[in-house]
Amino acid sequence: MLSLLALVSSLSWGAADFLGGLSSRRGSTVATLAISYPIGAVFLTGIGFYFIPGFVSVEVLGWSLAAGIVGISGIGMLYLALARGTMGTVSPITAVASAAVPVAFASARGQSLSVWSISAMALALAAVYMVTREKPHGQRAPALSLVLALSGGVALGCYLTIIGSAPTESGLWVVTLGRWVSTAIIVLILLLRAKRTGLPQAPWILALGAGILDASANALFQVAAQSGNLAVIAVMGSLYPVTTVLLARFVLNERLGRLQGMGVAFALVAATALALQ
């Protein structure tokens, strides 16, 4: 059951990243987040109140503050990377980076890594190398999009570690309050930017869809991670590039070079191998 929740969260994240990246590409990343995060916060608040209640404490508020700051940083860098680079390249890099953080955290807490896990992580590194070496039609991927993808992946990995380690009795409040913290940050950034360059725009439907799907994925992930093995659940959640890549391929007609295609496959195999450890 927990594995199913993690897999469904990965599908939802993949679709959210596609819509959010497409919205950022057609409009503004800041505007996309300013639309998607409030609707996601409202959605999570309703789910938290009526379906998965919990208790709020000073500790929970601390977890929420950390989750909100790290979460908006990670998703912001990811959406910027998706807007600047090909989705089929950016998404797997971010997935591998975000999966590695919870695994490293679990190892630091005394959970030793098996030969299987080490081999899978080596395969993941090889995947990153292959994906970043080639771009379709012989062009290299923009360096900035790769840096943003890696940095965003690390930040999102920290976010997953935070919400997965939150007190079980908190219900969904760490994710929910964290989303409100992120909303406050992105609205402040939007207002500051509007004073200088005017109010940025973004496609409303795409941004709203991204917000609801991303919020749903976060809720499913926290429920699964609080009751299961954080490292395994996090890596299973990192399978979301499958959805993003397929949507980019069939909706945007993005084509990957041969080496990149192998890299994407290696990244997915690595994530699956870690989930099966």
pLDDT in tens, 158-172: 999 999 888 888 889
Domain that holds residue 228: 2-275
215 CB-side CA count, 13 A: 30
pLDDT band at 148 (very low <50, low <70, confident <90, very high): very high
pLDDT tens profile 251-262:
888 777 788 788
* End-to-end Cα separation, the chain, in angstroms: 17
What is the model's pTM?
0.84
The angle formed by the CA atoms of residues 188, 47 and 27, to the nearest 5 degrees, is 40
Determine the pLDDT at residue 132.
Answer: 58
Mean pLDDT, residues 195-200: 81
Choice between 112 and 188, residue whose per-residue pLDDT is larger: 188
**CB–CB of 87/18 below 8 Å?**
yes
pLDDT at site 274: 64
Note the residue count of the chain: 277
Q: Pick from 159, 161, 133, 156: which is nearest to 146 by CA?
A: 133
- pLDDT score, position 241: 77
Alpha helices, DSSP H, located in the chain: 2-26, 29-50, 58-84, 87-108, 115-133, 143-165, 173-197, 204-227, 230-237, 241-251, 258-275
> Do the beta carbons of residue 181 and residue 128 sit within 8 Å?
no
Burial class (CB in 10 A: 0-12, 13-18, 19+), 250: exposed
Q: How many domains does the chain have?
A: 1
SS3 28: coil
Q: What angle, 0 to 180 degrees and rounded to 10, lies between the N-to-C axes of helices 173-197 and 143-165?
A: 150
Q: What's residue 41's pLDDT?
A: 96
Q: Which among 35-44, 84-93, 157-166 has the top mean pLDDT?
A: 35-44
**pLDDT at 112 (0 to 100):** 66
106 has pLDDT over 60: yes
In the structure encoding, which two tokens stand for residue 156, read together? 């999102």
At 237, list the tokens: 């959640």
Instruction: Round to whole Å and give the CA distance between 52 and 175.
Output: 12
